[in-house]
Amino acid sequence: MGEVLALCNVRFSEVSMIDEPPGKLRAVAFTCRDPAGDSKVELAFDYDASLFSATRSWPRVLVEQRLVSGVRALKR
């Protein structure tokens, strides 16, 4: 997933975590910057126990190492 963030010129601090139920990180959302126009994107990944956080806080390295299992374009 880190490669996608780099291609989209997105800093990790700009990424919104999507955890449902709370604490179980399932996806991230951000605005992908492109010369042709910005797009809001959601990247999903397969859940495993390493993605649980009672404090709803996940280390950057953990999130960026995830393999993307789904991509969804969101309405602008």
pTM given for the model: 0.89
Query: pLDDT value at position 76?
Result: 59
Domain count, the chain: 1
- Region 51-65 average pLDDT: 96
Which pLDDT band, with edges at 50, 70 and 90, does 36 fall under? confident
Residue 37, C-beta contacts closer than 8 angstroms, at least 6 positions apart: none
Mean pLDDT score across all residues of the chain: 93
Question: Structural domain of residue 68, as residue ranges?
Answer: 2-74
Token duo for residue 60: 């950057």
Residue 3, C-beta contacts closer than 8 angstroms, at least 6 positions apart: none
Is the separation of the CB atoms in 30 and 1 below 8 Å?
A: no
> CA of 19: how far to CAs of 7, 45, 63, 66, 76, in Å?
24, 11, 12, 15, 21
